[in-house]
């Protein structure tokens, strides 16, 4: 049995009759729904959520699941049922949270470059906190709140210049990144606005990056934020929480990975110095392992030098991470294979040379019409899909306790063209 380091049992396992998701045959789902299709395990989402919740059980905490990782309504409702709250990154994500049944106070609203309309929307709904990205944004929130006769709960996102030691494109806590305010400016920004009646400072916020695989950068971020919270207390700006953002990585390649318990053990001693409740915004660690993108081999090609390509009916339009970050995903055939493994380039059908899922990946013989599953695609998969090449968004299926249901149907060309005149 394959498990990941957080002892969450991985949902996609090969059996005698082919790959299954928590015991449900992938073939049988595909026979009805077709390909490409995203398939998720509700059980894996529950297990991953609980492993984080349990790790912080001895300390006041709130998990605000980061909707950007996967905001399909049925998935979001699963999280709601577990007691999660949410981190939203746009008014669209706030709307999803509200429709999934979250109370506005259970939402933190983060994101660079929030528009005036988005701020008004968040202010009108009285969300739990707006995590402001700059002094200017705080002032715009204050002005809009005054105009609306409201008091807004805010936190300031701090950029602590800490290297998350992740991929450069998903590191957000360095001075060279666009996120937050410089640490040395943060205290002054709070102090200068502490008498602003339309702002209620409830927290400090940091998010240093995603797919973080070691505890030390996360510990350092917690240390910096706790110190700032203590300084603000001295300045007469008492806070309600410290928001550590998300970032916990998962074992895409089976390499050693920080567990939720190790994460908690690293940050809790720092947090205890201020004894403020902690807000966590995990996304990937909750949903990544739960999902697989299942695709069909549409073509097989071999060059004279021996290089072989398996062209799938899914590409960067369905799963952008490999093209965007060169990210690694395990790829497994859905039917059992006895043939020896040889190197394959697994690619998509899009007219871009970056439309590649894997280069020279050892795989058994692949033939046209074979099914393959691209694993650990529950996070930053379906949410990043596009209609490039006029391709239609893939359906999504949720497996739960031996049953499965379509939680988003396949898009039709009429859905796409309905927006056009």
Ligand X SMILES: Cc1ncc(COP(=O)(O)O)c(C=O)c1O
Residues annotated as part of the active site: 351
Query: Which residue number places its CB atom closest to ligand X?
Result: 246
Q: Which is nearer to ligand X, 285 or 297 (CB)?
A: 285
* CB of 257 vs ligand X, minimal distance in Å: 13
* CB of 247 vs ligand X, minimal distance in Å: 5
Q: Which is nearer to ligand X, 161 or 345 (CB)?
A: 161
Q: Which is nearer to ligand X, 30 or 66 (CB)?
A: 66
Q: Which is nearer to ligand X, 127 or 332 (CB)?
A: 127
In the chain, the N- to C-terminal Cα span, in Å, equals 53
* CB of 396 vs ligand X, minimal distance in Å: 18
Q: Which is nearer to ligand X, 69 or 374 (CB)?
A: 69
Q: Are 184 and 147 in contact (CB under 8 A)?
A: no
What's CA 313's distance to the chain center, in Å? 24
User: Could you tell me which residues come within 8 angstroms of residue 121 by beta carbon, excluding any fewer than 6 positions away?
Assistant: 91, 94
Site for ligand X, rule CB under 6 A: 66, 68-69, 87, 110, 207, 210, 245-248, 281-285, 379
* CB of 334 vs ligand X, minimal distance in Å: 27
Q: Is the dihedral of CA 307, 308, 314, 319 positive or negative?
A: negative
Q: Which is nearer to ligand X, 245 or 322 (CB)?
A: 245
Q: Which is nearer to ligand X, 2 or 383 (CB)?
A: 383
> 333: which strand partners?
372
Q: How far apart are CA 107 and CA 96, in angstroms?
A: 11
- Three-class SS of the chain: CCECCCCCECCEEEECCEEEECCEEHHHHHHHHCCCEEEEEHHHHHHHHHHHHHHCCCCCEEEEEEHHHCCCHHHHHHHHHHCCEEEECCHHHHHHHHHCCCCHHHEEECCCCCCHHHHHHHHHHCCCEEEECCHHHHHHHHHHHHHHCCCEEEEEEEECCCCCCCCHHHECCCCCCCCCEEHHHHHHHHHHCCCCCCEEEEEEECCCECCECCHHHHHHHHHHHHHHHHHHHHCCCCCCEEECCCCECCCCCCCCCCCHHHHHHHHHHHHHCCCCCEEECCCHHHHHHHEEEEEEEEEEEECCCCCEEEEECCCCCCCCHHHHHCCCCCEEECCCCCCCCEEEEEECCCCCCCCEEEEEEEECCCCCCCEEEEECCCCCCHHHCCCHHHCCCCCEEEEECCEEEEEECCCCHHHHHCCCC
Q: Are 48 and 8 in contact (CB under 8 A)?
A: yes
Q: Which is nearer to ligand X, 178 or 273 (CB)?
A: 178
* CB of 93 vs ligand X, minimal distance in Å: 11
* CB of 82 vs ligand X, minimal distance in Å: 16
* CB of 313 vs ligand X, minimal distance in Å: 27
* CB of 264 vs ligand X, minimal distance in Å: 15
């Amino acid at each position: 049995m394959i498990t990941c380091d957080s002892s969450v049992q991985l949902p996609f396992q090969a059996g005698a009759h082919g790959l299954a998701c928590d015991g449900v045959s992938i073939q049988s789902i595909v026979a009805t729904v077709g390909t490409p299709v995203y398939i998720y395990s509700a059980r894996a989402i529950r297990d991953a959520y609980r492993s984080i919740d349990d790790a912080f059980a001895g300390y006041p905490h709130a998990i605000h699941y980061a909707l950007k990782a996967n905001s399909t309504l049925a998935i979001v409702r699963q999280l709601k049922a577990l007691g999660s709250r949410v981190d939203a990154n746009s008014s669209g994500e706030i709307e999803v949270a509200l429709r999934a049944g979250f109370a506005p106070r259970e939402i933190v609203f983060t994101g660079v470059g929030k528009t005036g309309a988005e701020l008004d929307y968040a202010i009108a709904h009285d969300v739990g906190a707006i995590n402001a990205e700059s002094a200017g944004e705080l002032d715009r929130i204050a002005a809009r709140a005054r105009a609306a006769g409201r008091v807004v709960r805010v936190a300031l996102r701090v950029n602590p210049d800490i290297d998350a030691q992740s991929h450069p494109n998903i590191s957000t806590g360095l001075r060279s990144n666009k996120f937050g305010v410089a640490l040395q400016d943060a205290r002054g920004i709070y102090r200068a606005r502490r008498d602003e009646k339309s702002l209620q400072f409830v927290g400090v916020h940091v998010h240093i990056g995603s797919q973080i695989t070691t505890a030390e950068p996360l510990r350092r971020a917690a240390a910096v934020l706790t110190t700032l919270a203590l300084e603000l207390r001295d300045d007469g700006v008492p806070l309600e929480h410290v928001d550590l953002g998300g970032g916990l990585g998962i074992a895409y390649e089976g390499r050693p990975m920080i567990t939720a318990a190790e994460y908690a053990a690293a940050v809790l001693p720092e947090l205890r110095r201020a004894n403020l409740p902690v807000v966590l915004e995990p996304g990937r660690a909750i949903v990544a392992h739960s999902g697989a993108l299942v695709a069909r081999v549409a073509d097989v090609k071999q060059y004279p030098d021996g290089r072989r390509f398996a062209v799938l009916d899914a590409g960067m339009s369905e799963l952008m991470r490999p093209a965007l970050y060169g990210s690694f995903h395990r790829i497994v055939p859905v039917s059992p294979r006895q043939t020896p493994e040889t190197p394959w380039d697994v690619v998509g059908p899009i007219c871009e040379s970056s439309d590649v899922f894997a280069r020279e990946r050892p795989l058994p013989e692949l033939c046209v019409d074979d099914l393959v599953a691209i694993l650990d695609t529950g996070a930053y998969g379906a949410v990043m899909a596009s209609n490039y090449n006029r391709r239609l968004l893939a359906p999504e299926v949720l497996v739960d306790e031996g049953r499965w249901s379509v939680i988003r149907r396949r898009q039709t060309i009429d859905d796409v063209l309905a927006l056009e005149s």
